[in-house]
Amino acid sequence: MTKLTEKSGSRPPWVGLAAAAWVQTSAGSGSTFPLYSSALKSVLGFSQQQVTILGVACDLGENMGLLPGYASNKFPPWSMLLIGASSCFLGFGVLWLSVSQIVHGLPFWLLFIALAIATNSNSWFGTASLVTNMRNFPLSRGPVAGLLKGYIGISGCAFTVLFSMVLHHSATNLLLFLTIGIPVICLTVMYFIRPCIPATGEDPSEPMYFAFLLATSIVFAAYLVVTTVLSEVFILPSILKYVLVAIMVLLLLAPLAVPIKMTLFRSNAKSSPLGSSDNIAKEEGSHEEPLLTPSTSASNLGPIFEGDDESDMEILLAQGEGAVKKKRKPRRGEDFKLDQAFVKADFWLLWFVYFLGMGSGVTVSNNLAQIGLAFGIKDTTILLCLFSFFNFIGRLASGAISEHFVKSRTLPRTLWMGAAQLVMVFTFLLFATASDLTIYVATALIGVAMGFQFLSIATISELFGLRHFGINFNFILLGNPLGATIFSAFLAGHIYDKEAEKQGNMTCLGPDCFRVTFLVLAGVCGLGTLLSVILTVRIRPVYQALYASGSFRLQPQSTGH
């Protein structure tokens, strides 16, 4: 792994976290798809299934993170942000040229690839900021993951505000902003997202800092919702619109208050360095053990290999005392490479829980504009903002709630993933009733429940370590585009076009457009709930070992396979 220069001091991690808030907000460009999907359909003459397939390209690119995950252990964060900015510029640039009709006749497959490349920038952005900050705050993984993923969740609402107030509801203007604006933002802050040296002891002020960040992010999200509603209900003068957008920018700068406070009012608390955030990944689960101890007696060898699979013949291969070192297999709670995690049932249970929950949820988000039209809602801007806000609340609340119970009751985070999918079962049944009044409630509930599925990120770091966290969690995220392909493109898109064909129109109206889809998705989430219960029971002993002292242990004792 390339040796990176670590930034020392107590303030740099918080500066990096503040910069990551901007990157993560930019990394939510995939949520803007409903804002320009109608333009793809009308300007380019696509069917709903073609638009849905482009939505799959959006999810595919956003979650193809194996390469960024591998790169996070090899390259500095700034280089990953540079790659993300480049793919964002190229991918959205092609879409802008097509929708603005500067270039005519681009084939469908090229637009599919362009959209996948464009949204793949989010994977580079998200991996660089998330992995770096998880390592910079190893004792606060739940709040950090919830906060950063929360900013991605609310980004759809932020883009909606820009879309309605500054970009004049123009899909062409939005795509131009995504092409140029996002790369500029990420290139501006990329220097500040870097490995830092955390402290061993928990800073007594740290909970207060995180509480402040959570509070300001909630204020930011609520402000976006109120602003969106105001812009849709009232005709606002141009100067007021720009003032409201300026306030939005100031609220997004709020996380900088923590390092500014630390600069102006220095704490006297002492803490000892833990080593670089990259070295944490190396130290957290080191598995090298000497085959021979200083004493050559067999009785001394016994405890070393108790419960392991090494045979006596392997031990005899060592020549000379301490001459040979043997790597034992990691245990849950220690560092796993991806191929080592592959053979663990818990890894695949977590993958399928995430696949079922996110796959069904993203079917709603990808088709939200068409669902709204089918329910008789002509302007779906408020619906998108509502989904984005409650998705943000779900991501944020999941981190805080799971962190409390994992430390106080050693309850695995997967318990809350399952509870959220149980809520999704009833929500899809609510969608299927096709009542005009319930669509807003159902959209909000789906947003919250989807947010809880991102607990898989903190879970993967706890079960399989931080050293290979980037590639491990990005493999879990592949459940998102696979679910979108199966449930959104093949199921929802196909049924929608069939119903539209019956009505003799390209646009389907009425409850039958998505009713069957909602009923199937209710069953899918029921299965996800069952699997999450099984996984929670299996990994409860691991969490009891990891959080026995009330906080996460960086070098946990083995609990067995």
Q: State pLDDT tens for residues 389-408.
A: 898 899 888 888 998 899 88
Helix (H, G, I), strand (E, B) or coil at 430: helix
Quick one: average pLDDT of 90-107? 94
Which amino acid belongs to residue 186? C
Could you read off the pLDDT of 106-129 as tens digits, one per residue? 999 999 999 999 999 999 999 999
Query: Which of 28, 47, 27 is CA-nearest to residue 37?
Result: 47
* Encoded tokens for 468: 């290979």
- Above 80 in pLDDT, residue 467? yes
Looking from the CA of 359 toward its CB, the CA atoms found within 13 Å total 29
- φ, ψ for residue 290, nearest 5 deg: -70, 135
| Rounded distance between C-alpha atoms, residue 348 and residue 204, angstroms | 37
**Residue pLDDT, tens place only, 3-16:** 455 554 456 789 99
Under 8 Å between Cβ of 22 and 154: no
What is the chain's Cα-based Rg?
24
User: Over the chain, what is the mean pLDDT?
Assistant: 83
In a 10 Å sphere around its CB, with 0-12 CB exposed, 13-18 middle and 19+ buried, how is residue 403 labelled? Answer: buried
Give the list of residues 6+ apart from residue 160 with CB closer than 8 angstroms, or none: 35, 224, 228, 381, 384, 385, 388
> 78 forms bridges with which residues in the sheet?
none
Q: How confident is the model at residue 141 (pLDDT cuts 50, 70, 90)?
A: confident
Q: What 3-state class would DSSP assign to 380?
A: coil
Q: Which residue has the higher pLDDT, 229 or 516?
A: 516
Percentage of residues in the chain having pLDDT higher than 90: 42
- The pLDDT-based confidence of 490 (bands split at 50, 70, 90) is confident
What percent of the chain lies above the pLDDT cut of 70?
A: 84
| Residue 143 pLDDT greater than 70, yes or no | yes
State CA 542 to chain mean position distance.
Answer: 24
